[in-house]
């Protein structure tokens, strides 16, 4: 294995170890429940987003 490949492998193993440490430090999962407010359209009547687009500006090609 070339030196650059070894460095990248080591770096990715480091990132995996950091993510594992984060999961162990915060073992819980968050769950969000959204209650529609009076007069707000329900999720069932909301218009679906265009296929493949989430509506975020960063999704648009520059």
Mean pLDDT of the 39-47 span: 58
CB 1 within 8 A of CB 9: yes
What 3-state DSSP class applies to 5? helix
Residue-wise pLDDT for 48-61, tens only, equals: 555 555 554 555 45
What 3-state DSSP class applies to 34? coil
**pTM of the prediction?**
0.41
| Predicted confidence band of residue 18 (pLDDT cuts 50, 70, 90) | very high
């Amino acid at each position: 294995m070339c030196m650059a490949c070894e460095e990248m492998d080591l770096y990715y193993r480091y990132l995996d170890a950091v993510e594992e440490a984060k999961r162990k430090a915060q073992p819980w999962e968050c769950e969000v429940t959204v209650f529609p407010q009076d007069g707000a359209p329900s999720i069932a009547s909301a218009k679906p987003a265009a296929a493949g687009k989430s509506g975020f500006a960063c999704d648009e090609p520059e």
